[in-house]
Amino acid sequence: MPYISGHYAPTADELTAHELTVHGTLPPELDGRYFRNGHNPKPGVTPTHWFRGAGMLHGIRLAGGRAEWYRNRWVKTPFLDGKPFTGTELDVSAAATNIIFHGGRYLALQEANLPWEVTDELDTVGVHDFGGKLTTSMTAHPKVDPLTGELHFFSYSPFPPYLIYYVADAGGEIIRATTIDGAGPSLMHDFAITREHAVFLHSPVVFDAEEHSGIPYRWHDDAPFRLGVLPRHGWAEITWFEVDNPGAILHVANSYVDERGRVVLECPRFDRAAWETSWKWWVGAPGYPPTPSTGTTMHRWILDPATGQVTEEALDDLVTEFPAINDDFTGERNRYSYAIGFPGAGLDGYHTVKFDTGTGQRQLFAHGHGRMPGEAVFVPAAGATREDDGYLLTIVSDISTDSSQLLVMDASDLAKPAIAAVDLPQRVPAGIHGHWIPELG
């Protein structure tokens, strides 16, 4: 299967290594932990879908210009061994999609289940249900408001209520739970916030009991593509904007309100052909393509509440996915976003891409033959004055040498060589999402 071979071949060992070799110079402000999650089924296990692989966390501790340690650990949920479990199905998570830090807790996330808490050294603690206030699943893509520290997230389901919006305060206490009217059984992997709104993505990929891969969703042409805008403050109703050009979205770059009061959303977009071709890779169906992302390109939607109209425009023609920004600009107008550039549309190998949505220009960092980067995580530089003053951190898998490095790039100029590279003690399988978590002062 493609999702357990090549760059995605699982590792069989949990390792701990200290005082890793550093090439170049690690910036002194990189004092914290880079944690990344991904699907890593145990030896002998072949999941029916890429998204069904057990979760494994990888972490690197940086401090004082040193890489103090690397460790990797499976999230030890009942899903890992498939043993009988006395809890609810919400507890039995692969916990394989993302890892965040909020309210003093490290949480490993998978959208069909409750979060699983781990320690700062990646040991599993157990299920976290926000003190009993979360009785549904939780998205793997929550958003932190950079001004308030609030955590915004949602739960979606193939059955009513289809969509619930949550807010937890900076301390990790849920303070809002709102059932969203007008939603349906759509696959909603991600969403967005602006300073004033939550923005939900209702795609034509909807629940289908005939899909037996373990992820029971398929593209249906009769299902609408809609974008929902809900005021974050007060109890106003959601407004659903109908999009004429059918598309699906897995990951959001950012959303904000422009000077005319319109809601702007930017992210990679699938059309039906791109979705169904990618799905072949995710399930290992005959004719699957060489990479998991085949055709997603950066788009912008402008939603005008005064007219109810939607304007859509393509921002670039490169095949890209896993968008990221400087998180200090979450929900506010930003200029730069970063992504993985996949082979195709003029690219021969994997690249890290920087988009300038103000000028339409882009920069490419070529990782070289046999090397594949992960999602780029932005870390601000000390004394940063510009949006792109900072560093991009990513784990690069080198299939030709069966090895991996943590790469540190200059986010302000991808034409420059990497600032530093940390040798890891084993090849890290290509993964999904992660975060930089600064050391607490």
Give the chain's largest Cα–Cα span. Answer: 59
Three-state SS string over 249-278 comes to CCCCCEEEECCCCCEEEEEEEECHHHHHHH
Q: Count how many Cα atoms sit within 13 Å of the Cα of residue 88 in the half-sphere of its side chain.
A: 11
Q: Are 254 and 192 in contact (CB under 8 A)?
A: yes
433 is in an annotated binding site: yes
Phi and psi at residue 282, to the nearest 5°: -65, -30
- Which H helix or E strand runs over 283? helix 272-283
3-state secondary structure of 73: strand
Distance CA 256, CA 279 (A): 30
The residue to which tokens 């299920």 are assigned: 127
Q: Are 118 and 108 in contact (CB under 8 A)?
A: yes
Peptide bond just before 43 cis, omega within 30 deg: no
251 is in an annotated binding site: yes
Token pair for 293: 């992302």
Distance CA 6, CA 240 (A): 42
CA torsion sign for 161, 167, 172, 173 is negative
Where on the phi/psi map is residue 32: left (φ > 0), alpha (ψ -120 to 50), or beta?
Answer: left
* Torsion angle (degrees, nearest 10) of CA 371, 389, 146, 26: 60
Q: Rg of the chain's alpha carbons, rounded to an integer?
A: 20
> Which amino acid, residue 217?
Y
102 is in an annotated binding site: no
Q: Give, in order, the Cα–Cα distances in Å from 203 to each of 184, 220, 432.
A: 10, 9, 21
As a 3-state breakdown, the chain gives helix, strand, coil percent values, each rounded to 5, of 5, 40, 55
Strand partners, 98: 109
Q: Are 314 and 301 in contact (CB under 8 A)?
A: no
The residue to which tokens 């200029």 are assigned: 335
> Which amino acid, residue 278?
S
Instruction: Indicate the annotated binding residues.
Output: 141, 189, 251, 433
**Binding site listing for Fe cation:** 141, 189, 251, 433
